[in-house]
Amino acid sequence: MVDSIRVENVTKTFTRRYQRTLKQITVAKARGQKTMDEFNAVDDVSFTVQQGESIGLMGLNGSGKSTLLKMINGVMRPDSGSILTRGNIAGLIATGAGFHPQLSGRDNLVLNAAILGMSEKETMRKFDAIVDFAGLEDKLDGQVGHYSSGESARLGFSIAIHVDSDIFLADEVLAVGDKPFRAKCLQRMEEIRDSGRTLFYVSHSAGSVKRMCTRVLILEQGKLVFDGKPWKGIKYLGYDDGDLKENPIDLEEEIGADI
Ligand X SMILES: Nc1ncnc2c1ncn2[C@@H]1O[C@H](COP(=O)(O)OP(=O)(O)OP(=O)(O)O)[C@@H](O)[C@H]1O
Residues that bind Mg ion in the complex, under the rule CB under 5 A: 66
Of 143 and 221, the one with the shorter C-beta distance to ligand X is 221
63 contact, one of ligand X, Mg ion, none, CB 5-8 Å limit per kind = ligand X
Q: How far is the CB of 219 from ligand X (least distance, A)?
A: 6
41 contact, one of ligand X, Mg ion, none, CB 5-8 Å limit per kind = ligand X
d(CA 170, CA 164): 15
Q: How far is the CB of 137 from ligand X (least distance, A)?
A: 31
Q: How far is the CB of 95 from Mg ion (least distance, A)?
A: 10
Q: How far is the CB of 69 from Mg ion (least distance, A)?
A: 8
- Tally Cβ neighbours within 10 Å of residue 167: 22
Of 41 and 72, the one with the shorter C-beta distance to ligand X is 41
Q: How many angstroms from the chain centroid is the CA of residue 44?
A: 20
180 contact, one of Mg ion, ligand X, none, CB 5-8 Å limit per kind = none
Q: What Rg, from alpha-carbon coordinates, does the chain have? A: 20
Of 70 and 162, the one with the shorter C-beta distance to Mg ion is 70
59 contact, one of ligand X, Mg ion, none, CB 5-8 Å limit per kind = ligand X
Helix (H, G, I), strand (E, B) or coil at 32: coil
> Are residues 188 and 176 in contact, defined by beta-carbon separation less than 8 angstroms?
no
40 contact, one of ligand X, Mg ion, none, CB 5-8 Å limit per kind = none
Of 133 and 226, the one with the shorter C-beta distance to ligand X is 226
Strand partners, 202: 57
What is the CA angle 128-130-136, rounded to 5?
85
d(CA 159, CA 166): 15
Q: Applying CB under 6 A, which residues contact ligand X?
A: 14, 41, 59, 61-67
d(CA 147, CA 109): 13
Of 64 and 177, the one with the shorter C-beta distance to ligand X is 64
* Residue (of 169, 167, 166, 252) closest to 206 by Cα position: 252
